[in-house]
């Protein structure tokens, strides 16, 4: 368990503009959220899709951090960008980089910042734990894991959200594990039930994509909650 209790990380898939991230950060802080997520460097499956605002996006996140006293969570794709990530509170290693041992080792060796390691796109639990081991051996044990689902058969949902990994990892390795039902299901309507399930099975937190206008989102439009849906989620979680 985290020292500050059940951790809720929320925010848009990607930082899209100053106005967008400000609306979202302002709302989240008004409902008591302490951790703001938002991709500045986005690992998109297609090179033609929106790739994020990069350094400009990071700077907007830092403005939100200062303005609303939020802790910032964002993904690092390339070790060479590290110099720009100094203001980030939690470095996200995304699903596509779980197997990037060079990135894991370099980041772990360079910083004692908290790291969130997401499960690889089709990774076994053993492989995921091995990647966590790279962080430890590299010199950073200040990490937690994020279950975000693995590839599934069928198109009904984006991924197969394997919440069984949470108690398994907690029992065998003792790490903190949170769940990302947004990428885990890809469907807005499933976020609340899967968040409740995650809390019930002992997850240490959840990461939820929230957008001021999900329909207009530049990425992951179908899985982002609007503000009133997010408030319903908080109510249903009894937080």
Q: Are 57 and 15 in contact (CB under 8 A)?
A: yes
Which residues in 53-92 contact ligand PEP (CB under 6 A)? 75
Closest-by-Cβ residue to Mn ion is 13
Closest CA to 116 of 142, 145, 147: 145
Which residues in 216-235 contact Mn ion (CB under 5 A)? 220
Which residues, other chains included, contact 235 with Cβ-Cβ below 8 Å and sequence gap of 6+? Answer: none
Query: To which H or E segment does residue 146 belong?
Result: strand 143-147
Site map (CB under 6 A) of ligand PEP, residues 174-213, x = contact: ---------x------------------------------
Closest CA to 212 of 72, 32, 4, 18: 18
Closest contact distance (angstroms) between CB of 70 and ligand PEP is 17
Q: The tokens 């830092």 sit on which residue?
A: 62
Site map (CB under 6 A) of ligand PEP, residues 148-177, x = contact: x-----------------------------
- Looking at the Cβ atoms of 66 and 151, the one nearer to ligand PEP is 151
Closest contact distance (angstroms) between CB of 174 and Mn ion is 28
Which residues, other chains included, contact 68 with Cβ-Cβ below 8 Å and sequence gap of 6+? Answer: 25, 26, 28, 29, 36
Closest-by-Cβ residue to ligand PEP is 94
Residues that bind Mn ion (CB under 5 A): 13, 220
């Amino acid at each position: 368990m985290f020292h500050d209790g059940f951790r809720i990380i929320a925010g848009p898939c990607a930082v899209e503009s100053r106005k967008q991230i400000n609306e979202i950060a302002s709302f989240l802080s008004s409902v008591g959220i302490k951790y703001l997520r938002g991709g500045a460097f986005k690992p998109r499956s297609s090179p033609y899709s929106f790739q994020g605002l990069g350094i400009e996006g990071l700077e907007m996140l830092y403005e939100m951090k200062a303005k609303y006293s939020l802790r910032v969570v964002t993904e690092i794709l390339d070790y060479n960008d590290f110099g720009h990530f100094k203001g980030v509170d939690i470095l996200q290693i995304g699903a596509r980089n779980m197997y990037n041992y060079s990135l894991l080792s370099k980041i772990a060796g360079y910083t004692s910042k908290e790291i969130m390691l997401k499960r690889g796109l089709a990774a076994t639990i053993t492989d995921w734990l091995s990647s966590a081991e790279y962080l430890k051996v590299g010199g950073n044990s200040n990490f937690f894991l994020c279950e975000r689902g693995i590839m599934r058969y069928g198109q009904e949902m984006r991924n197969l959200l394997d919440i069984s990994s949470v108690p398994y990892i907690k029992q065998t390795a003792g790490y903190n594990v949170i769940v990302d039902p947004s990428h885990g299901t890809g469907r807005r309507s499933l976020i609340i039930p899967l968040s409740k399930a995650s809390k019930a099975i002992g997850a240490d937190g959840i990461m939820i994509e929230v957008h001021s206008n999900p329909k207009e989102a530049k990425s992951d439009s179908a899985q982002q909650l609007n503000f009133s849906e997010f408030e319903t989620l908080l109510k249903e979680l009894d937080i």
